Amino acid sequence: MQKTVVNSWNEWDPLKHVIVGRADDCHIPPEEPALDAKVPEDSDMRGQWGRRPQETIDRANELLDKFAAQLEARGVRVDRPNSIDHSRPVTTPDFHTDSQFGCMPPRDVLLTVGSEILEATMSYRCRWFEYLNYRPLMKQYWEEDPNFRHEAAPKPRLTDADYHPDYLSEKIGVEKRLQWAEEKFFVTTEEEPLFDAADVLRFGKDLVVQHGFTTNLKGIEWLRRHFPDHRVHTVNFPGDPYPIHIDATFTPLHPGLILNNPQRRLPKDQRALFERNGWEIVDAAQPAHNTPPPLCYSSVWLSMNVLVLDPKTVCVEKSEVYQAEQMDKLGMEVVEVDLRDAYAFGGGLHCCTADVYREGDCEDYFQ
């Protein structure tokens, strides 16, 4: 029987099939330009690399397994990646890195648009081969679904020409970073198209893409040419000194409603698209924590990295009480998920998943 396996056009239609990452064999990779620019200057991760401690891997896997079971209990089909050996070094004709990253989080690598899953170029050397963790699943979908389009963006060369050397100094300071972000001067250059899938949000016919450390303007142009039936919009969030991945910054909940990180507000001119179409952009609630957990790349704003199950139901991390309260006030049913001890592996509930199937078609929400 032929059937549709892959179909997802936005971030909120009823979720029926999803990939949940695994913490197996995750590594803190050695220094490299784009990653260095992202690790906060006061982070406990600076200067160390290697396989993550086994007890943290086991704990994260326990939480990811439970999250997967929670989704399955709600009728969602859940698939898991097959971890490759991330301790293996990578050498291409253009670069070398002594280890890889992990099979978390899938949202960074896989971009689902309709019946297509696109493997992003990625912008870190340690994540160049990360798509291999998902290839067994892609192969399976390809065999099950005659309309599935499995695509891969051109692999980037990631030579030193891809990175601005200014970002490589030890201490830049947050002030300078904020100024650079305002000027749209990021660590990646315009040498070649670069993007991570988690810089893209899907609003039916419109794709909203963050220009920052992991996605450059050529990457956005590449997406525009690759999806000729879509409108592709570039957005910036000047309050973010480490702008990577849009999903702890800008979170659509359903047609007409978006949460925005109050420290990273979308600039006025970029709001026009949403405002003239009657979409409301509201400040997200404050995170419940003052600091991220140990060995974590992300900020405390993973509080707003929620996974929408359908336009009225949303998964919120269990300890994020203010975020849950806000969802309740916004009329959403909250599903609590314990995930904080897995944050260090690359993100929250939205990050650690990748859409395979949501009900619904490609709609046009904007004029």
* Catalytic residue list: 196, 245, 351
Instruction: Give the nearest distance from C-beta 247 to ligand ARG in angstroms.
Output: 5
Compute the distance between CA of residue 186 and CA of residue 180 in angstroms, rounded to an integer: 7
* 156 contacts ligand ARG (rule: CB under 6 A): no
Query: Which is nearer to ligand ARG, 5 or 253 (by Cβ)?
Result: 253
For CA atoms 317, 247, 100, 152, give the dihedral sign.
positive
The alpha carbons of the chain give a radius of gyration, in whole angstroms, of 19
Instruction: Give the nearest distance from C-beta 108 to ligand ARG in angstroms.
Output: 5
Alpha helices in 203-320 (DSSP H): 217-226, 268-275
Query: Which is nearer to ligand ARG, 247 or 310 (by Cβ)?
Result: 247
* 107 contacts ligand ARG (rule: CB under 6 A): yes
* 248 contacts ligand ARG (rule: CB under 6 A): yes
* 301 contacts ligand ARG (rule: CB under 6 A): yes
Length of the chain: 367
E strand or H helix at 17: strand 15-20
Query: Which is nearer to ligand ARG, 16 or 107 (by Cβ)?
Result: 107
Instruction: Give the nearest distance from C-beta 274 to ligand ARG in angstroms.
Output: 21
Q: Which of 271, 348, 337 is nearest to 105 (CA)?
A: 348
Are the beta carbons of 313 and 12 closer than 8 angstroms? Answer: no
Q: Which of 32, 247, 310, 320 lies at the binding interface for ligand ARG (CB under 6 A)?
A: 247
* 219 contacts ligand ARG (rule: CB under 6 A): no
Bridge-based pairing of strands 280-283 and 257-260 is: parallel
Q: List Cα–Cα distances, 323 to 11, 317, 326, 328, 330, in angstroms.
A: 18, 9, 5, 9, 11
Instruction: Give the nearest distance from C-beta 351 to ligand ARG in angstroms.
Output: 3
Considering only residues 316 through 355, tell me which ones interact with ligand ARG, judged by CB under 6 A: 346-347, 351
Stretch touching ligand ARG by CB under 6 A, among 100-108, 145-153, 175-183, 356-364: 100-108
* 299 contacts ligand ARG (rule: CB under 6 A): yes
Q: Look at the block and give the residue holding tokens 């949940």.
A: 20
Query: Which is nearer to ligand ARG, 97 or 298 (by Cβ)?
Result: 298
Considering only residues 182 through 211, tell me which ones interact with ligand ARG, judged by CB under 6 A: 198
Answer whether the bond into residue 105 is a cis peptide, omega within 30°.
yes
Q: What secondary structure does DSSP assign to 342-366, as a single string?
A: GGGGT-STTTTEEEEEESS------
* 356 contacts ligand ARG (rule: CB under 6 A): no
Instruction: Please give the residue ranges that form the binding site for ligand ARG (CB under 6 A).
Output: 105, 107-108, 198, 244-245, 247-248, 298-299, 301, 346-347, 351
